[in-house]
Structure 1
């Protein structure tokens, strides 16, 4: 049930709640994740935040395949949250959206420093920034034009003006930019088909092309294939799929009774990192989402993180040595990094 509306945001409940975790693990709490969805309301698309109760281990340590674990952000507010980070292709830096104080602002931060600088802190909804292949620009989603979410381009250092790329009454977000620097693949919700679908457009705008139903696209380093998420028709579970950049060659990469989400590529194109809620049992305590990896063809699926927290939104750094991800470990949402033992 909706508790209220702030601008164009529907709030399904309070932003975050922490309470005692009803498990046998004493050093864990429950922390709400506000999942961003999309709803068509009053002849426009709006963002809907739905709370999902997750387990957060107060102990931040992890399993043997996780080394050099670092906390990158310093959030101590229970109401603050982050989206999936984007890592620079030519610098040791990242950009991300922080939800705080009723705003969603884009920040840039070095991987070696907790200091952050605002890229876009305007009122309204700013979502899912992505770097262009040369690292000079960001493509992100914003409702600053007064319409539903559209895609915009801005310099990655925050300087200069801003250019609108898409313009319609749709909800366009989750952009990924091909290696040619000219093609944007993104997730969109359209008025006549409210289910999430994946589209492409030229960097300078122009003709839109619908590729397939799905969400959370990520383009391979060579620009030839896209991995994305789509529910399995039989089980209803989210699975990782791939296709050619023109929408052909549709292939399901993961299967089973787990939800597999947030796929992204290793810089060498041979691996895909993702999050999965496949169960890991220790006594009678069940883990939440963890970070997993598999080969680009879906084989050799292996679990990386083993903390009893919600770990998701993984991305590799430009060298392919470090994974940055979102987690509620410690009892608050923050961004972390680690070096995987592959």
Structure 2
């Protein structure tokens, strides 16, 4: 079955998989929701999901969103049901719509104190006794509440894709642009770039861009300073960039400063944990200084790779 899955229709597809008892489709839906947790929880479709579907989502022990996002989605779901029934959306009414089974699946002790005090405590969905027990659990780090206190694991792990192996001569900037394009074999997230440092005192400075196709999806100022004994350093992007399989992405930099290190590429593609990163010459604009799929800048790429849900029947992490 070839379905066009996206955050806006995922809850509907999950409901259908549950209704027709399609285990394979259900598994694909939950894997997608695990990967795209934030987007699914913020979609309008989550308000119309069945209670069975909502429970399926809550029972996931790996998630790429915080527990407060899960609570807010549940709250909005119950508020929608109250509004449809013409019931005033009080904390008690929302609690009744959710039911004790759904409430018990929300991991309130895994939230921060600010999330509890600024959001949950103001909604009055929990009783005063429950709030106190959650506060005590968070502060003392010993669970005295009725709720699960173990945080859900992020459904991703950081891996480095190093494209450069062999040391070459120094690299000089002439005021132009350096760029490289690439594709990934599986959906993943780009979180940082490993960049070359100057060989002498000083710093190179300029702009760094990430493009999807021809559209700039991320831009930041770049400053790479000389550091004794170091040839490169990891530069966080500040925001995660979701990479889709079969799409072409590009990284470009326009910097000026002293000569920096450079390496040669041993292979045009690098594979880590079943995900392959394939490089090609820059597709958007020109790589004026000569960076290409075989040499130049951009030492490595830090990716967050999605991992499958790994829990026992009770939701405990294995």
TM-score by length of 2: 0.25
Higher relative contact order (CA 8 A, sep 6+): 2
User: Which entry has the higher C-alpha Rg, 1 or 2?
Assistant: 2
Point out the structure with the larger strand share. 1
TM-score by length of 1: 0.24
